[in-house]
Chain A
């Protein structure tokens, strides 16, 4: 396969990096830790939620674990999906760029015949 042009490689690398960032964020979000106000909870802890109207709600560790475990696959799927799209696009760019460069190379070689003979 012909080597793609530098611009294609730079563009594809940028897309791949963005894709990897999404994967990394997804990996960090999949810790399985139950949190309350960003802090890790342990079994037996209770989380107090205060609404804007001052209403207080208490959540047990089990309740929050069930809620956050249900939300996690959606978040992971979304982040992983977007990351995967970026990586796929990067691969597509590299393949298309290689094909185009192969065609260019064939034209350059074809021109050599009449450039030398002329």
Chain B
């Protein structure tokens, strides 16, 4: 008889305990740790490149001019950390390490549990205080608007950085950013509805519109928010800009990755714009 391993294994007792301590609700899905191929390939390429050059320089120093030893020493000094980095990443990756194969991100109804080398910790969507998301077309499989790296600070001060080198961010990235934004939106709107402006990075949401460095874009000029990714597949900066109802840019563009809770900002602007439209403004 054969069994589906993931189902048969179920959740570890540490994961179940961590999830129940934070009342995370039902388990939904799990994402295994990944082997970071781009990191391994780049470190491997640097190791081979500098290793070959260092070998050639050493050979040249032995048979030719001893002055070449200087170049050989420099090249070996560059090769050594590349090789050490390659081995460090490889030996800690799920491809080689049995322990790393146990690491996972488990998604629950109200949050997630991350089982990793430093321990197993649970996080609730509604306890995320700040979420910074780096967007990029880092690999072909991930689209340009997928967060490939996320930095989170919880209300209790805990911090975590989760990147495409840890887990499949093409699946987990959009999920965590959407759930956190949905959990934060009611809090942000409640605070805003009491007459308080809310600042997201360089942008401030006010009753009159969205302000940037003393310049205000009124709500009547705002149709929504656009996130663009400039410069092709290898630029790691994405920008957020306000657009009018004809999708023409209004106001300024800000760096998406440097803006805390940018997804909540997007939802908030969309909510306010929809509310104003419903009352005919």
Q: Using a CB–CB distance below 8 Å, which chain A residues touch chain B? A: 14, 17-18, 21-22, 25, 29, 35, 37-38, 75, 79, 100, 103-104, 107-108, 110-118
Report the separation of the CA atoms of residues A100 and B194 in the bound assembly, to the nearest whole angstrom. 31
B32 CB within 8 Å of chain A: no
B190 close to A117 (CB less than 8 A): yes
B201 close to A107 (CB less than 8 A): yes
Report the separation of the CA atoms of residues A37 and B63 in the bound assembly, to the nearest whole angstrom. 10
User: Could you say which residues of chain B place their CB within 8 Å of the CB of A117?
Assistant: 187, 190-191, 194, 196
The interface size bin for chain B is 20 to 34
Report the separation of the CA atoms of residues A46 and B258 in the bound assembly, to the nearest whole angstrom. 66
Report the separation of the CA atoms of residues A101 and B58 in the bound assembly, to the nearest whole angstrom. 43
Could you tell me the distance in whole angstroms from the C-beta of B254 to the nearest C-beta in chain A? 12
User: Could you say which residues of chain A place their CB within 8 Å of the CB of B184?
Assistant: 115
Report the separation of the CA atoms of residues A116 and B198 in the bound assembly, to the nearest whole angstrom. 13
Which of A18, A37, A110, A115 meets B77, CB within 8 Å? A18
8 Å CB contacts to A: which residues of B70-106? Answer: 70, 73-74, 77-78, 81
Report the separation of the CA atoms of residues A103 and B258 in the bound assembly, to the nearest whole angstrom. 9
| Listed residue (A75, A112, A113, A115) with the most chain B CB atoms within 10 angstroms of its CB | A115
A14 and B81 in contact, given A38-B66, A104-B132 (Cβ under 8 angstroms):
yes
- Add 12 more A-B contacts to A22-B74, A108-B153 (CB < 8 A): A21-B74, A29-B70, A37-B66, A79-B70, A104-B130, A107-B200, A108-B129, A108-B260, A111-B129, A111-B261, A114-B196, A117-B191
Could you tell me the distance in whole angstroms from the C-beta of B110 to the nearest C-beta in chain A? 16
Report the separation of the CA atoms of residues A35 and B160 in the bound assembly, to the nearest whole angstrom. 56
Report the separation of the CA atoms of residues A111 and B151 in the bound assembly, to the nearest whole angstrom. 14
